[in-house]
Amino acid sequence: MCDYFKKQLCSSCNFNERENSLEYKASLIRESFSSIQIEYRGTDSKCFGFRNKAKLAVFAQKDKSIGLGITRRDLSQVDISSCPLYTDGIQQLVLSVKDFIVRSSLPIYDIKKRNGELKYIIIMGTADSSEHILRFVVKSKKNLPEIQNMVPALLKKNPTLKVVSVNIQPIPHAIVEGREEIILTQDRFIKEQMCEYRLNIGPSCFFQTNPGVAGELYQTLQKWIKEQYISSALDMYCGVGCFSFFASKYLGNVTGVEISKESIECATLSAKENNVERVVFISEDALTFFKRMKKEFDAIIVNPPRKGLGKDFCQTLVERKTIKKLYYSSCNAKTLIEDYEILKERFTPSRIAVFDMFPFTSHYETLIEFL
């Protein structure tokens, strides 16, 4: 068990064995789709050291030392810089970056007084800890030159660190990241080996935080598609292209759509580097593209954010009579079920798999095949 949990410093995780079981967590899916036998995946994943991303608030502690950790609802802050969920590489890099911050003159942001500059550090890494991204989240560009001057020493001290960037977040709200990202290194992406594909990932790209279980998710979709008579698919909210690449192995063509330009740049580069010619990526709002598109697809793959697809998207999908199969991946069972209330007018669930993507929490990933 985690020391932070034992000392009641952090309650982000739940170590109750019964409540951590995937069967218990997925009760809402089981009750809502009671006629379908559910496949449970990822239950033998690593307990600790699996998480490839750390978002840590930077703050001054009572003894004036620097803390890296979480902000509670009452705005108190707790150092969890040695969280055991992180990969070994991230744990080492967190301590190194903390030392650099201590030795710098960067003004630390005070969440109560709303002054200072450095708010967060965000670290992303590959599953094998061979490459990392470090992002400094700051209130303004005021101290950008000082951070730029730190970069050569950071890279020398940490050989796995490939990308360093500054994210500008001027708003004093709970939103961690702002819209403007400034890359400070020659390298702009790291490369993650996801089963047979080597994928590019940029600082602001979405990527699953548990790559081992994510691989099972993508391979499950690939297996299901292989067993169907499908020649083309539309991948909405495609991110850096994971579902697109795995689906393309057994399809004539796949089109991936994602609003993030950086994610599409990464996906397009990955397609070229992996010699995948049957995939095209487009940077556009998913619903806007879906409403205007004229090309027909046999199947659609959707992996929306936690808020789900929404009424407008679902209704548009129901009206698209040429789409025969739907593959819905969701990290929020509640919004998935809300969407299904509209989608069931046309689509019938045939297979369901749930994945323990987020151990020690009540969250999980669901993949459903609708025919």
Closest listed residue to residue 156, CA positions, set 96, 90, 105: 96
Q: What residues are paired with 180 via a beta bridge?
A: 168
Q: What is the Cα–Cα distance from 124 to 128, expressed in whole angstroms?
A: 12
DSSP secondary structure code for residue 86 in this structure: B
CB-CB neighbours of 196 under 10 Å: 12
| Residue 222 structure tokens | 């690939």
User: Backbone dihedral region of 27: left (phi > 0), alpha (psi from -120 to 50 degrees) or beta?
Assistant: alpha
Separation between Cα atoms, residue 174 and residue 137, nearest integer Å: 13
- Spatial neighbors of 369 by CB under 8 A, at least 6 apart, are 224, 325, 326, 327, 349, 350, 351, 352
> Residues 6 or more apart from 240 whose CB is under 8 A from it?
199, 200, 201, 205, 206, 207, 263, 266, 267, 270
What residues have CB less than 8 Å from 274, skipping those under 6 apart? 197, 198, 245
CB 122 within 8 A of CB 54: yes
Q: Is 331 a catalytic residue?
A: yes
Sheet containing strand 66-71, edge to edge, reads 77-79, 66-71, 53-60, 118-125, 132-138, 161-168, 180-183
Contacts of 89 (CB under 8 A, 6+ apart): 125, 126, 129, 130, 132, 160
Q: Which of 208, 203, 260, 214 is nearest to 237 (CA)?
A: 260
Question: Which one of the listed residues 10, 238, 314, 331 is annotated catalytic?
Answer: 331
Which amino acids are annotated catalytic?
331
